[in-house]
Amino acid sequence: MPTLFDPFRLKDIELRNRIAVAPMCQYSAEDGVPNDWHLVHLGARAAGGAGLVIAEGSAVSAQGRITLGDAGLWNDAQAEGWQRITAFIKRHAVPGIQLAHAGRKASAHRPWDGDDHIAADDPRAWDTMAPSPIALGGGLDRIPREMTDADIAQAREEFVAAAKRALGAGFEWLELHFAHGFLVQSFFSPLANHRRDGYGGSAEGRARFPLEVLAAVRDVWPERLPLSVRLGVTDFHPGEQPLEESIALVRRLKSIGLDLVDVSLGFNTPDVDGVPWGPGFMVPIAERIRREAAIATAAGWRIGEPRHADAIVRNAQADLILLAHAELSDPHWPYRAAHALGLPRPHELLPIQYAHWLNGREPAVAV
């Protein structure tokens, strides 16, 4: 059985270990262009020992941004901004990026500025669209425009164009955001998709847009490089699709080129009372999907203890561990975890500028 610190190979890419930095929106870009903040944020975590660093959910169009601070990949200036960052990450880890369209959750204030929709009459607000004209609710109460067939085709092509730019910018791992109530996820969820045409109305119809986006992106993303999706497989809500339907979607995505599924939540409703928050609460679901869809799987959510992360990999519950809060609080989490697990030379996870001095020392000793 592999351990947390064994390499992981997917297509032509080998990660030095099973630790992945989760895509985390920084809301710090201007006009979608990443800057020094992104270089330092992602660079520190690449140097900190993770095998895979996935850059934040980056919008495939200006309309697809959650907030005005979102990074993007819909123009060349943005791709150029990412190039410097991927070059740095590659010295230490594999650079990935998540592509996203926010759908009905677009046109919002940054989390620390309220996390709610910008008022429709505010000149900073923009048009939002979704499968059905239904507001998410909570602070996100703008009613989106119902998408036409032309809107749907255009959104799909925006994912394709952004995937091409991601390749040109030097990314070696592409993740599509099919979770958290954003555009693609909202097509799949009966909580958000009330359409009666070919893009809704049945499990088959609700799966159509995710399948079309994946197929179109796979056509332009090289076969030798991993393509993953973060998929919201459950909302823990009575109105959702059965988990079996999510598993069936994973199988179909796999059959058209998906390499790994990052198992996450739907967040298609502000009602999250049913979510059983607790350490590793998504792991049993990730394990089931890994087994039943026979696909490589990443598990995240409330994982931060090294022994827990290691056990998930050893027990074949997931292939990768996706860390968000743990990496926010300590970019050197992999180094500390290697110490905690008793690995012989944990400092070797770090660049020589640090490793030289830390050789043989306990990580928390400051003298």
Positions touching ligand 8CM (CB under 6 A) are: 25, 57, 66, 180
In the complex, minimum distance from the CB of residue 25 to ligand 8CM, in angstroms, rounded to a whole number: 4
How many other CB atoms are there within 10 angstroms of residue 251's CB atom?
A: 15
Which helix (H) or strand (E) is 76 found in, with range?
helix 76-90
Quote the DSSP letter at residue 133.
S
Which helix (H) or strand (E) is 228 found in, with range?
strand 227-234
What residue spans of 169-282 are helical by DSSP H? Answer: 183-188, 203-220, 243-255
Tokens standing for residue 231: 């998929």
Q: Judged by CB, which is closer to ligand 8CM: 264, or 317? A: 264
Q: Judged by CB, which is closer to ligand 8CM: 48, or 57? A: 57
Which residue of this chain has its Cβ atom nearest to ligand 8CM in the complex?
A: 180
The whole-angstrom distance between residue 148's C-alpha and the CA centroid of its chain comes to 27
**The residue to which tokens 């074949």 are assigned:** 316
Q: Judged by CB, which is closer to ligand 8CM: 64, or 170? A: 64
In the complex, minimum distance from the CB of residue 101 to ligand 8CM, in angstroms, rounded to a whole number: 11
Q: Judged by CB, which is closer to ligand 8CM: 282, or 293? A: 282
Query: How far is the C-alpha of 11 from the C-alpha of 324, rounded, in Å?
Result: 25
Number of residues written out for the chain? 367
Q: Judged by CB, which is closer to ligand 8CM: 180, or 339? A: 180
Q: Judged by CB, which is closer to ligand 8CM: 57, or 81? A: 57
| Collapsed DSSP state (helix, strand, coil) of residue 217 | helix
Q: Judged by CB, which is closer to ligand 8CM: 112, or 123? A: 112
In the complex, minimum distance from the CB of residue 261 to ligand 8CM, in angstroms, rounded to a whole number: 15
In the complex, minimum distance from the CB of residue 223 to ligand 8CM, in angstroms, rounded to a whole number: 27
In the complex, minimum distance from the CB of residue 109 to ligand 8CM, in angstroms, rounded to a whole number: 13
- Angle between helix 333-340 and 306-314 (nearest 10): 80
C-alpha separations of 363 from 29, 64, 92, 353 in Å: 33, 42, 20, 15
C-alpha separations of 98 from 62, 63, 240 in Å: 16, 16, 25
For residue 66, report the phi and psi dihedrals to the nearest 5 degrees: -70, -50
In the complex, minimum distance from the CB of residue 57 to ligand 8CM, in angstroms, rounded to a whole number: 5
The answer to whether 72 and 78 have CB atoms below 8 angstroms apart is yes
In the complex, minimum distance from the CB of residue 26 to ligand 8CM, in angstroms, rounded to a whole number: 10
